[in-house]
Chains A and B, each alone.
Chain A
Amino acid sequence: MMPRARRLVVALCLGVAALSTQAREAAPLAEDPVVEKRLLAITAELRCLVCQNQTIADSNADLANDFRREIRKLIAEGKSDQEILDFMVARYGDFVRYRPPVKGTTILLWAGPGVLLLIGLGVLIRYLRRRNDAIPDGALTPEELAAAEALLASRNDSRQDANPQ
C-alpha cells in the first residue's frame, strides 16, 4: 500500500506544479490585441541584446520584457513603428535591428555574400575555360593519322596471328 500512496502524492505535487507554471505564463495576454499585434511585429525586427541570436519577440529575457513594456508605452503614446525603431536604434545602435540599414559600416554585411559568389563564379569559369583549352581539338595532323593507321594495321595482323584459320 505504501508505494502506491507515495506515488499518488508525487503525482499530485507534479500536477500542482504544472498548474502553477501555466498560470504564470498566461498573465501577459490580458492586453489590447491591436497593441499586442503591433508589438509583436516590431519586436520581431529587434534583436535581444542579452541572447543576441533571438528576437525580442522570441526572448523571455528580463531585458526583452523591459523592451516590450517600453514599446507598449510608446505605442500608447501614438508613436509610429518607424519612430519606435528609431528610439531603439538611438540607444542600442544598428545591432539591435535584425535588418540593419545599408550604409558605410554595414555595406560588407549586405554586399559580402554577393561579392563572394561573384568571385567564386569567376574562379569557376576561369578554371573550366582553362581545362577546356588543355583538351586538344579532334583534328589530327597527317603524321598522327599515318601513325594511327600503322598501329591499327599491326593490330589486325596480330589478331590474325592469334586465330589462324
Chain B
Amino acid sequence: MNRFLWPLVGFAALVVLLAVGLGLNPRDVPSPLVGKPAPAFSLPVLGADRQFGPADMKGKVWLLNVWASWCVSCRQEHPILVELGRKNVVPVIGLNYKEVRGDGETDMAKTDAATEDRLARRKAAGWLQQHGDPYTLSVLDLDGRVGIDYGVYGVPETYLIDKAGVIRMKHTGPVTPDDLTKKILPLVAELNK
C-alpha cells in the first residue's frame, strides 16, 4: 500500500504546483513602486500649452493610465475606462507613452523633436476622438523616460495614487470590468475615506 501511496502523493503535489504555476500570469511582475511616492515628472499636456505633474493632484485619489494609440490591448480596456470616466468617481490621468516611437512606423532618425511632438499630438488626439476620451487630461511622454521611472514595460498599465501621492496599486495589462469592481474601485473608496 505504502509503495503506491508515496509516489501518488508526490505526483499529486507536483500536479498542484504546476496547476498553480499555469494559473499565474508571468507578465504580472510585482512592482517595487507600490507603497512609494509616485515619481515626479513635468510633461506637456495633450491639447493644451502647459505642463502637468503628479504634484498637481495632491489631495486627490487618482488613476494614472498608460496608453498609446498604437497599443492594441488599450483598445480592449478603453470602453471600460470611458464608462468609468462617465461615472465621475475617480479622475483618470492618461500617460501617453511613446506615441510616435512606440509603433516603429516612423523613422526617428529623420524626425526632429518639433515634428515628433506635432505628430504625437495629432495621432493621440485623433485616437481619443475616435474611441472616446475618459481622461481628465493626458500628458505626452514622447521618449518613454517617465515610463521607465514608473517601471512601465508593457502598455496598458494603470496606477492608483492616493491623496499623499503614494502609489497604492499597479495593474499591468488591460483593466477588465472585474478588476475595476473588485480591486480598483473598492480601494479608491477606501482611500477616499
In the complex, whether A90 has a CB less than 8 A from a CB of chain B is yes
* Residue pair A91, B148 in contact (C-beta under 8 Å): yes
Name the residue among A52, A91, A94, A95 with the largest chain B CB count within 10 angstroms: A91
- The reply to whether the CB of A137 lies closer than 8 angstroms to some CB of chain B is no
Identify which of A62, A63, A66, A92 contacts B32 (C-beta below 8 A): A92
User: Which stretch of B58-66, B83-91, B150-158 is in the interface?
Assistant: B150-158
For chain A, the count of residues having a C-beta within 8 Å of the partner chain is 15
Contact: B148 with A66, CB < 8 Å?
yes
> Is the beta-carbon distance between B144 and A66 smaller than 8 angstroms?
yes
Total A-B residue contacts, Cβ distance less than 8 Å: 40
| Interface residue? A83 (CB, 8 A) | no
Interface flags for A107-127 (1: CB within 8 Å of B; 0: not) read 000000000000000000000
Chain A residues in contact with chain B, CB under 8 A? 49-50, 52, 62-63, 66-67, 70, 89-95
Which of B's residues lie within 8 Å of A, judged by CB?
A: 26, 29-33, 98, 101-102, 104, 143-145, 147-151, 153-154
| CB-defined A-B contacts under 8 Å, sample of 20 | A49-B154, A50-B153, A62-B98, A62-B101, A62-B104, A63-B153, A66-B143, A66-B147, A66-B148, A67-B148, A70-B148, A90-B32, A91-B32, A91-B149, A91-B150, A92-B31, A92-B32, A92-B151, A93-B29, A94-B32
